[in-house]
Copies of this chain bind each other. A is one copy, B any other.
Amino acid sequence: MSHNSFGTLFRVTTWGESHGPAIGCVIDGTPPLLDLSESDIQPWLDARRPGTSRFVTQRQETDQVRILSGTYEGQTTGTPISLMIENVDQRSKDYSAIAETFRPGHADYTYHSKYGIRDPRGGGRASARETACRVAAGAVARKVLGPDITIRGALRQVGEHRVSDMDWDWDAVGDNIFHCPDPAMAVVWEDYLDGIRKAGSSVGAVVEIHASGVPAGWGAPVYGKLDGDLAAGMMSINAVKGVEIGAGFGAAGLRGEDAADEMLPGNDGPGFSANHNGGVLGGISSGQDIIVRFVVKATSSILIPRRSIDTAGGATEVVTKGRHDPCVGIRAVPVGEAMMACILADQMLRHRAQMG
């Protein structure tokens, strides 16, 4: 498989560096006759856009998307959809210092080790700017999925502060800058993150994504599992270090009689006593909500000096001045939603292929 593509039938290929002229993606396999114009994509990009609060990077990007192919008179034609977003705020500062230093916790050293060359401007290809393309593709994927499938994301945890199931309210998510489903916790986070920010530090977070309305039967054994795709997709998001489905790592402590979601007769498909399996059994959807969680580590672009080495191997120190994200997990919420949408769209098409 190509390194910079994902999906089998709904297939997304992204390209571009943080400070190049533009970033973009090509989406292949979209069914025809779906209404699609820039205005269907732009709102999702706006939700991910940097510079919207003091808790996310202050880089100013308008993230205006342009459809270059694949539609005719406002409808998809079934041919590849090319989307492009020009980079506006590249700040052509002097990168010579950063070019010779490996920032700890970043991909500088590993890119250098692999390729012997790297674009040091803003992290190059390893920049989270790439995720704008995922969000744009996700908007197209939602069109493929149609109105019966709802994808929602929220921030489950910031630092050690975790929202409990009991306090979870989807309706609250849009009311705060954190995508927090618990208004009380949003206040806690604001105060907590102000402290982190003022200390020039950063902190990790956990994002949770739900998909409702997915019928039973999507996914495929054994290496085409729906949860396998979700694991790969979420892990490929910048700074993600773990992915779990349903009860996730909590399942270690559950006994068999608790872990299995009992099945009950129902009028419209079976009922379930719980959803520890996150809507996936044997890699195939059960009709319950698909529930995925992933952890985003703290960015290491902070004001606190860290020890590192330069390209010559000598000791040095790294401090990242200027704009940075105290909690990159916040902006990962729409990215996780988009990945869920793309993966479901792909599995929907794969299911339809085999089952008619």
Enumerate chain B residues within 8 angstroms of A245, measured Cβ to Cβ. 235, 241-242
A210 to chain B, nearest CB (A): 16
Is the C-beta of A322 less than 8 angstroms from some C-beta in chain B?
no
Chain A positions 26 through 61: 1 when the CB is less than 8 Å from some CB of chain B, otherwise 0: 101111110000000000000000000000000000
B356 engages A82 (CB within 8 Å): no
Among B241, B251, B261, point to the contact of A278 (Cβ < 8 A): B241
Quote the shortest CB–CB distance from A280 to chain B (angstroms): 8
* Closest chain B CB from A271 CB (angstroms): 9
A248:B241 contact, CB within 8 angstroms: yes
Contact B20 A68 (CB under 8 A): yes
- Select which of B157, B247, B306 is within 8 A of A262 by beta carbon: B306
User: Does A148 sit at the interface, judged by CB under 8 A?
Assistant: no
Assess the B224–A235 pair: CB atoms within 8 A.
no
Q: Would A105 and B270 count as touching, CB distance under 8 A?
A: no
Once the chains are docked, how many angstroms separate the CA of A274 from the CA of B66? Answer: 43
Mask, A1-43, CB within 8 Å of B = 1, is 1111110110101111100111110101111110000000000
Q: Is the CB of A259 within 8 A of B28?
A: no
Question: What string of 1s and 0s marks CB contacts (under 8 Å) between A69-92 and chain B?
Answer: 110100101111110100000000
Taking the closest CB of chain B, its distance from the CB of A150, in whole angstroms, is: 20
Interface contact A109-B286, CB-CB below 8 Å? yes
A321 part of interface (Cβ distance < 8 Å): no
| Stretch in A167-175, A183-191, A225-233 touching the partner | A225-233
The chain B residue sitting closest to A80, CB to CB, is: B15
Interface residues of A in 183-224 (CB under 8 A from B): 196, 201-206, 215-224
Expressed in whole angstroms, the minimum distance between the Cβ of A115 and any Cβ of chain B is 4
* A243 and B252 contact, CB distance less than 8 A: no
Is residue A110 contacting chain B, with contact meaning CB distance below 8 A? Answer: yes
The listed residue with most B CB atoms (<10 A of its CB), out of A2, A13, A206, A227, is: A2
Shortest CB-to-CB span from A256 to chain B, Å, is 4
Tell me if A300 and B117 are in contact (CB < 8 A): no
Q: Taking the complex as formed, is A97 at the interface, i.e. its CB lies under 8 A from any CB of chain B?
A: no
- Tell whether A94 is near chain B: CB-to-CB under 8 Å: no
A264, B13: Cβ atoms closer than 8 Å: no
Partner of A307, one of B106, B159, B217, B262: B262
Besides A102-B270, A202-B256, A265-B309, 6 other CB < 8 A contacts? A5-B28, A22-B82, A78-B117, A109-B281, A114-B355, A241-B278
10 A-B pairs with C-beta separation under 8 A: A4-B223, A15-B68, A17-B79, A31-B355, A106-B281, A110-B216, A114-B284, A160-B253, A241-B244, A259-B300
